[in-house]
Structure 1
Amino acid sequence: MYDLKDTLGTPIAKIEAPGGKGGLSSPTLVDKDLDGIVDIAYAGDRGGNMYRFDLSNSDSSKWSAKVIFEGDKPITSAPAVSRLADKRVVIFGTGSDLSEEDVLNADEQYIYGIFDDDKGTVNVKVTNGTGGGLLEQVLSEENKTLFLNKGSDGSGSKGWVVKLKEGQRVTVKPTVVLRTAFVTIRKYKDDGCGADTAILGINTADGGALTPRSARPIVPEANKDVAQYSGHKTTSKGKSIPIGCMWKNSKTVCPNGYVYDKPVNVRYLDETETDGFSTTADGDAGGSGIDPAGRRPGKNNRCFSKKGVRTLLMNDLDSLDITGPMCGIKRLSWREVFF
Structure 2
Amino acid sequence: MKIGTADKYVMFIGGGFDSAINNAHGKALFVVDLATGTKLWEYYNDGALDDRQYMNFSLPEKATAVDLDNNGYVDHVYIGDVGGQLWKFDVSATATTSWTGRRLFVAVPTQANPPAAGEFYPTQAFFGAPSLSLAPDKSLWVFIGTGDRYHPNSSAVNRFYGIKDDGTMGNGSFLAESNLADVTTTNATAPSGWFVRLGNANEKVLAAPNVFNSQVIFTSFTPTTTVTCTSGSGTARLYDVQMLT
Normalising by structure 1, we get a TM-score of 0.52
Task: Flag as ranges the 4+ runs of structure 1 deviating above 4 A.
Answer: none
Matches of 1:193 and 1:7 in 2, distance apart?
A: 42
Identity in percent: 22
Larger Rg: 1
How much does 1:21 deviate? 2.9
Paired residue for 1:118?
A: 167
Counterpart check, 1:197 vs 2:214: no
The structural deviation recorded for 1:190 is: 2.6
- How many pairs are equivalent? 186
Partner residue of 1:83 out of 134, 139, 148: 134
Letter in 2 for 1:112: Y
- Give the one of 15, 22, 39 matched to 1:11: 39
Give the corresponding residue for 2:183.
137
Quick one: which amino acid aligns to residue 138 of structure 1?
T
TM-score normalised per structure 2: 0.71
- C-alpha distance in 1 between matches for 2:223 and 2:36: 39
Tell me the CA shift for residue 68 of structure 1: 0.8
Q: What is the letter of the counterpart of residue 29 of structure 1?
A: A
Q: Which amino acid aligns with 1:124?
A: L
Q: Give the drift of 1:47.
A: 0.6
Deviation digits for residues 105-153 of structure 1 (CA, Å, limit 9, x no counterpart): 2211001111101223472123xxxx2x2110125xxxxxxxxx33x3x
Amino acid at match of 1:37: Y
2:72 to 36, 47, 69: 36
Find the counterpart in structure 1 of residue 196 from structure 2. Answer: 162
Residues in 1 aligned to 2:164 and 2:191: alpha-carbon distance in whole angstroms: 8
3-state SS of paired residue (1:95) = coil
Q: CA deviation at 1:61?
A: 1.3
Distance in 2 of aligned mates of 1:55 and 1:35 = 14
> Structure 2: which amino acid aligns with 1:195?
G
Gapped runs of 5+ residues in structure 1?
A: 140-148, 207-339
What is the CA-CA distance between 1:7 and the residue it aligns to?
5.0
Deviation at 1:23, TM superposition (A): 0.8
Q: Provide the residue aligned with 1:171 in structure 2.
A: 206
Residues 8 and 193 of structure 1: CA distance in aligned 2, closer, same or farther (over 3 Å)? farther
Which whole-Å CA distance do the structure 2 matches of 1:125 and 1:137 have between them? 15
RMSD over aligned CA atoms reads 1.7
Partner of 1:64: 100
- Residue 22 of structure 1: aligned partner: 57
How far apart, in 2, do the equivalents of 1:94 and 1:20 lie?
18
Q: Give unpaired runs (5+ residues) of structure 2.
A: 1-28, 45-50, 110-123
